[in-house]
Amino acid sequence: MIKMFVEVLLNQIHINNQLQSHSKAIEGWVRNLVNPYDFDKNKAEIMGRFYNLNFEMERTAFLIRVDQLAYAQDEVHHLLERLKQISETKVAVENKLKMLTDARSLYSPIEDAFLFLTVPLNGAVKESELQLARNMIISLQKSGLTAFVGIGKKGRGVSAYRSSYFQAKQSLRLLAKLGGGDGIAHIDDMGEIGFFEHVPPDIRMELIDKHLTRNNRLSLELEETLEVFLDCDLHVKRAASRLHIHHNTLLYRLDRISGQLLLDPKKFSDAFLF
């Protein structure tokens, strides 16, 4: 009886070791897939098939960054302690995110972020992707962590997976630069923002000024409302609190602003113009 128990235990340990080894191998494959300097498509496909990856499956890149995993230069004298804390937090974040994603998703830590190549989600594509991102942020918030999520386009095959990652990375970079109310940036909302970012600042301000003068100027009340709303990173409840008004009143004012300026400040893709 004891011998049988030991054999079962050893077999279970062997299976666990194999699963961990396969998981690490997949992480390595994903890192090679998104390497910006050294990428061989044929090699990636050969190795992917060796790991039994199905390239006919559509996947979407989700890139997640967590504020608490960064450390400032003035923390160097506590570096070892801080790195230990970061390592523990990183494991906790990985576990939380993996619980929210399909087991068929491909995962790897990438630099200071977490990359998931998810499988198709239920419902409308973009909305279901945004909902998963919200769930990720909320789950991490419960542990006192602040997260930001960049989402690429869904695609099929090695090249599409790789492109989706760089789209998610670009979305996340623009989100960090421009700010965003819910901490989520989808590549579908980034097109005109990405273009606008490359417009020289003086030309950009001229375009904005022309747009505003073409429309009626806002009242002082609406100007203050817009300024506070943008300053609160498009958070309705926070802005309403600062303005000392009910959130429904704020939404009403934002609708008036939208109707007057023909831009909706509640939409990330419009708010960047203000």
Domain boundary among 133, 165, 195: 195
Indicate whether 146 and 216 sit together in one domain: no
Q: Which two tokens stand for residue 131?
A: 């909902």
Indicate whether 209 and 99 sit together in one domain: no
Indicate whether 103 and 238 sit together in one domain: no
pLDDT digits (tens, 9 = 90+) for 81-135: 766 777 888 888 889 999 999 989 999 988 778 999 998 877 778 899 999 999 9
Indicate whether 259 and 163 sit together in one domain: no
- Greatest Cα-to-Cα distance within the chain, rounded to the nearest angstrom: 86
Where does residue 111 fall: left (phi above 0), alpha (psi -120 to 50 degrees), or beta otherwise? left
Indicate whether 188 and 251 sit together in one domain: no
Q: Is the pTM of this model over 0.85?
A: no
CA 62 to chain centre: 6
CA-to-CA distance for 269 and 58, rounded, in angstroms? 26
CATH number of the domain at 107, please.
Answer: 3.30.70.270
Indicate whether 246 and 263 sit together in one domain: yes
Indicate whether 38 and 151 sit together in one domain: yes
CA-to-CA distance for 155 and 57, rounded, in angstroms? 8
Indicate whether 130 and 172 sit together in one domain: yes
Where does residue 183 fall: left (phi above 0), alpha (psi -120 to 50 degrees), or beta otherwise? left
Indicate whether 19 and 125 sit together in one domain: yes
Q: Which residues are CB-neighbours of 61 under 8 A, at least 6 positions away? A: 115, 116, 117, 118, 151, 152, 161, 164, 165, 167, 168
Do residues 96 and 140 touch, judged by C-beta distance below 8 A? Answer: yes
Indicate whether 111 and 227 sit together in one domain: no
- Give how many domains the chain has, as a whole number: 2
Indicate whether 23 and 118 sit together in one domain: yes
- Domain boundaries, position 138: 2-195
CA 121 to chain centre: 16
pLDDT at residue number 188: 85
Domain boundary among 168, 195, 222: 195
Residue 18 has pLDDT above 50, yes or no: no
